[in-house]
Amino acid sequence: MTALDVPTLARVEVAPPVISVGGLNKTYATQGGAPIHALKDIRFDIRQGEFVTVVGPSGCGKSTLLKILAGILRRSSGEVIIGGKPVDGPSRDIGVVFQAPVLLPWRNVLENVLLPADIQRLSRLGAEERARRYIDLAGLAGFEGKYPGELSGGMQQRVGICRALVHEPALLLMDEPFGALDAMTRETMNLELLRIWSESRKTIFLVTHSIPEAVFLADRVIVMTPRPGRISDIIDIDVPRPRELEMINLPRFGKYVSAIRRHFGAVGKLDE
C-alpha cells in the first residue's frame, strides 16, 4: 500500500446507527407499592435499513422499550439516540404501529391512512398519492372507501401499518402488530410486511412474543429476559432473502428457534 491510499481509506464511511441505546433503565413508580424495575441496562445499535425484532416473555418490558424509542414514555436513565439526536418526545420521522390498530370508525380506509398527514398538515396531494401506494402495497386496493367496521381484523391491522407509513418515516416501530390475528392471517401479514419493507427500505424495530416470527422477519433478534428486562442475547439471522414460508423448515431456522427458546427454558415457555 502506498501513502496515497491512506486518504482513500480514511474516506470510507460507515453509516452511523439509526438507533443507539446505551445503559437504558426504566423504573415505574406504583401507588403505594414497590417501584417496578421494567428495563435494566439495555444497550444496542440498529443500522439504517435493518429489520430488528425483539422477543421476550410477557411483562419483560418490550412495550416499555418501544414506547421509550417512540418518545412517548420517559426513560429513568441512560441514552437513547435516534437519527443522531437524543429522543425527547415523539418525532415525525418515526411511524408507530400499536398492537390494536385504533382506527377512527367515522373515517374510511383512505382517510384513516391519511390521519398523520392531516395532523402534520402535509399537502393532501402528495400524501394521498403515498396513501394509495401503501394501500395497494398492503393488498387493500378497492377498499379505500370502506369503514373500519366493514373490515376484518387483518385488514384493519394493515390499515394501521399504512397509516404508520404515510408520512414516510425512516423508522417504523411495531408492537406485536400481528398478535391478535389467527395463524394464517399472521403468516400472510409477515410476508406482506417483508415486501413493504423491501420496497420502501425502512428501518424496522418489531416486538413480538413469537420466537418463529422473530426469526422469520429479522436480520437480528434481540432476546430479552423476564423482568427486569435485560438483553440476554442478540442473534444474527443468516437466512437468505427474500424469505419464504418454506424457510421455516430449514435446519438453520430450527437452530435459531431452539437457541432462543433455550434462553427461556428455565423460566417457562412463550406462547409459540
Interacting residues toward ligand ADP by CB under 6 A: 28, 30, 36, 38, 56, 58-64, 227
Q: How far is the CB of 32 from ligand ADP (least distance, A)?
A: 12
Q: Could you tell me the smallest distance in angstroms from the CB atom of residue 60 to ligand ADP?
A: 4
100 binds Mg ion (CB under 5 A): no
Residue 98 interacts with, from Mg ion, ligand ADP, none (CB under 5-8 Å by kind): none
Q: How many CB atoms lie within 10 A of CB 30?
A: 9
Q: What grid cell was written down for 190? A: 409477515
Run of H or E residues at 190:
helix 183-200
Query: Taking CB within 5 to 8 Å according to partner kind, which of ligand ADP, Mg ion, none is near residue 60?
Result: ligand ADP
- Partner whose binding site includes residue 38, from Mg ion, ligand ADP, none (CB under 5 to 8 Å by kind): ligand ADP
By beta-carbon proximity to Mg ion, the closer residue of 17 and 160 is 160
Selection from Mg ion, ligand ADP, none that 30 binds (CB < 5 to 8 A by kind) is ligand ADP
Comparing CA positions, the residue from 146, 115, 152 lying closest to residue 130 is 115
Least separation in angstroms between CB 27 and ligand ADP: 9
Return the amino acid letter for 214: A
Distance CA 49, CA 204 (A): 7
58 binds, among Mg ion, ligand ADP, none (CB under 5 to 8 A by kind): ligand ADP
Residue 64 or 108 with smaller CB distance to ligand ADP: 64
Subset of residues 45 to 74 that bind Mg ion, contact rule: CB under 5 A: 62-63
Q: Closest CB to ligand ADP among 97 and 137?
A: 97
Element (H, E) at 22: strand 19-28
Edge-first strand listing for the sheet containing 36-46: 36-46, 19-28, 77-82, 85-86
Q: CA-CA distance, 114 to 127, in Å (whole number)?
A: 7
Q: With CB cut-offs between 5 and 8 Å by kind, which of Mg ion, ligand ADP, none does residue 177 bind?
A: none
Pairing label, strands 203-208, 220-224 = unpaired
Q: Which residue is nearest to Mg ion (CB)?
A: 63
What stretches of the chain show up as alpha helix (H) in DSSP? 5-11, 62-70, 109-113, 115-119, 124-137, 153-165, 183-200, 211-217, 251-264
Q: Which does 148 bind (CB under 5 to 8 A by kind): Mg ion, ligand ADP, none?
A: none
**Nearest Cα residue to 229 out of 13, 2, 58, 33:** 58
> Considering the complex, what minimum distance in angstroms separates the CB of residue 237 from ligand ADP?
21
Which one, 54 or 137, has the nearer CB to ligand ADP?
54
Q: How far is the CB of 184 from Mg ion (least distance, A)?
A: 23
Q: Which is nearer to ligand ADP, 56 or 160 (CB)?
A: 56
- The answer to whether 155 and 205 have CB atoms below 8 angstroms apart is no
Q: Which residues lie across from 235 on neighbouring strands?
A: 221
- In angstroms, the Cα distances linking 184 to 178, 190, 196 are 11, 10, 19
- Name the site residues for Mg ion (rule: CB under 5 A): 62-63
